[in-house]
A and B are shown apart, each in its own frame.
Chain A
């Protein structure tokens, strides 16, 4: 039960920016966004912390800005997790129904769940999520097998795990601001929770969150998340190739990408040339638009191709009837949905925020941080409810008394 009027934060430590949202959790898990803080990221490359102090400075500045804007202090946050160190595997288990009348009991369910979750990992790995797939009772898919008749009960989990050290780095950045990580949520799950509907997820949908350094994806079928993945390329990949291909600086290449970048090659403007800076100053020059299109589209398609390869045979139209939903900062690239449709051979669209989201948060780059709050409060059954004030007070007191 969520206490009325408690506050919870959401933090996304991305490659390009750090975003923080503070939400007021009202009764019945209703959410009221009260504070937003953003800062440019330093010390983070492709989701991994490479400079703890720089990353901490940026993150703490963003949290402080969000708290000041909200006028409240939070004690715990949901933290987005991304990075190439994340991996996943499927582990399935099955048990025979124990009762003589073949009715599935709660003990049977708990036993099969424990078995499916109980796969040992290397010592340097830590589990981020256990995402349960639907139960199977004698081959048929069931949502809740309790009291149903059958002989063999099976269930599978998609287990997401990552490097314990890299996960700890993210957590310790938050702890350095005297905050506690209430829950760790995969970035793509958070994004999917906000840009897709429950109906779309039940029909099957592929959600791509294309950030600056990484592309996080999640494949949903039958209402459950079947697969997730992280591709260690993102918007930076396009910028780098523009820089190399057109002999530009990284800043110039980023500017060209944002102003003229398109995810598909347009035949209509083959001979078009565009100015590099547009100020007619020394160093300004004309660039062929077709060259920009070719580089951008090639890299975008390359990203999609990597995702398609990782998703494997599950990525078929009969499994993903709702198509592809794109989000993240790079999803603002024009015609990216067309490129996705062509590569995946599925319908594709850029994800839109629900109607209740205010204008300043409707940008696709805010999908993850907004989705963190939403996912933490609505999509987790037993974990990550916003803590009550009394628990927060007690935890804070004990954290002071117990030395680090």
Chain B
């Protein structure tokens, strides 16, 4: 049987506390302590920097498990979400253009190819296609706005109406409001060049767009009567309306020209015997306006009736004083 024996506590020299006491240090000791502290601090700093770098790299290379899971599961495409602020294109149109087979995995969709396919359509200015896991394809579109219409010969020789955007791109429009479409003037005076299944963009439409925008903003009653816009004599723009065969606009300062046009047309409308039609109103002649009336064609041609320029120039409004136009 083992007996328990009380053994006194040993008083070893190891109980003497060994600690760095700066009060009892010599100069050699202080220098050594300083050096040790500096080395230790540098080592800790170095280790800290390494650790931070390691964490940074780990986080940078790590792929979140939430993202990996659908990839591993090969989830199918369930929906297409279309984001086109103010546009007229629909989700069905996008799905039709992409032609994705049913049940295709979301990861199998080639985003670059989808973007190219959509941007190949003239109505689409830019397209961004992204995956939204687990099963949604998000399509963000910026659409072109039509400025003019143009009538071209289709594949079988039949006339086909197309739209012209501000950038001069000619395209087939989809899902535009019919009233908006009928309000667009026709474009003429330009020779179209085919490229592939489309046409080479034409120049100068941006000037027409500025004219039409300003007209719609400040003289909607005038622009509603625009039937045809000719770009044949750019930078001047020739507009045909029901009452005037040719209205010639200068390339810039449309506001002043619209004011003068409105004044002239109003002047004719107030006449006791207004002319049946006007052959030309040339607004591009500096500070004056040339107006030629059309004469009933007993002789078969428009007999120009020169109108004194001074008669109009004397009372023509200028841009600065006729803000109410």
A111 surroundings in chain B (CB, below 8 A): 2, 5
Q: When the two chains form their complex, are residues B21 and A168 in contact, meaning their CB atoms are under 8 A apart?
A: no
A181 surroundings in chain B (CB, below 8 A): 18
Instruction: State whether A400 and B20 are in contact (beta carbons under 8 Å apart), knowing that A114-B7, A125-B11 are contacts in the complex.
Output: yes
Q: When the two chains form their complex, are residues B11 and A172 in contact, meaning their CB atoms are under 8 A apart?
A: no
A123–B15 CA distance with the chains assembled, in angstroms: 12
B16 surroundings in chain A (CB, below 8 A): 126, 164, 167-168, 171
When C-beta atoms are compared, the residue in chain B nearest to A96 turns out to be B3
Q: Which residues of B1-53 have CB atoms within 8 Å of chain A's CB atoms?
A: 1-3, 5, 7-8, 10-13, 15-16, 18-22, 24-26, 28-29, 32-33, 36-37, 40
Q: How far is the CB of B323 from chain A (nearest CB, A)?
A: 81
Q: When the two chains form their complex, are residues B1 and A175 in contact, meaning their CB atoms are under 8 A apart?
A: no
Query: Is A52 among interface residues, defined by CB-CB distance under 8 A?
Result: yes
Inter-chain contact total with CB atoms closer than 8 Å: 100
Query: Is A60 among interface residues, defined by CB-CB distance under 8 A?
Result: yes
When C-beta atoms are compared, the residue in chain B nearest to A119 turns out to be B8
Q: How far is the CB of A284 from chain B (nearest CB, A)?
A: 41
> At the interface, is chain B mostly helix, strand, loop or mixed?
loop
Q: How far is the CB of B305 from chain A (nearest CB, A)?
A: 108
A107–B3 CA distance with the chains assembled, in angstroms: 11
Q: When the two chains form their complex, are residues B11 and A176 in contact, meaning their CB atoms are under 8 A apart?
A: no
Q: How far is the CB of A127 from chain B (nearest CB, A)?
A: 5
A259–B277 CA distance with the chains assembled, in angstroms: 148
Q: Which residues of A286-337 have CB atoms within 8 Å of chain B's CB atoms?
A: none
Q: When the two chains form their complex, are residues A177 and B29 in contact, meaning their CB atoms are under 8 A apart?
A: yes
- Which of A118, A127, A168, A178 has the most chain B CB atoms inside 10 A of its CB? A178
Instruction: State whether A178 and B36 are in contact (beta carbons under 8 Å apart), knowing that A56-B26, A115-B5 are contacts in the complex.
Output: yes
- List 8 A-B residue pairs with CB atoms under 8 Å apart, sorted by A's residue number: A98-B1, A117-B10, A118-B8, A118-B10, A121-B11, A164-B16, A400-B37, A404-B20
Chain A interface residues toward B at CB < 8 A: 52-53, 56-57, 60-61, 63-64, 73, 95, 98, 107, 111, 114-115, 117-121, 123, 125-128, 161-162, 164, 167-168, 171-172, 175-178, 180-181, 184, 396-397, 399-400, 402-404
Given contacts A118-B10, A404-B19, 19 further A-B contacts (CB under 8 A): A53-B26, A56-B29, A60-B29, A63-B28, A64-B28, A95-B3, A126-B13, A126-B16, A162-B13, A172-B24, A175-B19, A175-B24, A176-B20, A176-B21, A178-B32, A396-B36, A396-B40, A400-B36, A400-B40
